[in-house]
Amino acid sequence: MKKSPRKKILAISIFVASILLTSCSSSIKSESNQSRNKVDKKEINIIPASDEDIFLYRQIGISYLCMARQIEVEFPKAISIAAKNYALLISSRHGGLIKELGSEKLPEKNIYNGAIIQLLDGAIRTCPEMVPEEDKKKFKKTVEQLNKKK
């Protein structure tokens, strides 16, 4: 994690997070069929999310999470909504494609679980007092497990 921690966290978390964080995350409800049809029609012109896109969506999620916690929104709800928003941006604007990961379309659930890790990382750095200690410990343990799997 010395050379580009954000990229490594993103790439690793998307593939492994769905297994490791199922206890931390809420399930995602599918979008309506009408919304799916609109996405399918736009897939021809979809551009994978760039590093800049990922950074922007991450910052939006972190800001939301920290602000929601400041007004005393429960942590599980705040992080779930922030991660859902992140996943929807990647899914709807980029068709689930992330430039760094190639042409493989990622399922929304994997993007969501990866977002949980990224948002936790960012919130711990940005507004650590807003993240419950238990979640900080789970995050640290998850990162250690991800590093062991490299």
Domain assignment of residue 24, yes or no: no
Domain assignment of residue 28, yes or no: no
pLDDT tens-place values along the chain, 150 residues long: 345 555 545 544 444 443 333 434 333 444 444 555 555 554 467 899 999 999 999 999 999 999 999 999 999 999 999 999 999 999 999 999 999 998 889 999 999 999 999 999 999 999 999 999 999 999 999 889 888 886
- Residue 24: per-residue pLDDT: 42
Tokens of 87: 């996943």
The number of beta carbons lying within 10 Å of the beta carbon of residue 35 is 13
Q: What is the extent of the structural domain holding 125? A: 50-150
What is the C-alpha separation between 62 and 115, in angstroms, rounded? Answer: 10
Total domains, the chain:
1
pTM (two decimals): 0.69
Nearest to 113 by CA among 18, 29, 46, 23: 18
Domain assignment of residue 26, yes or no: no
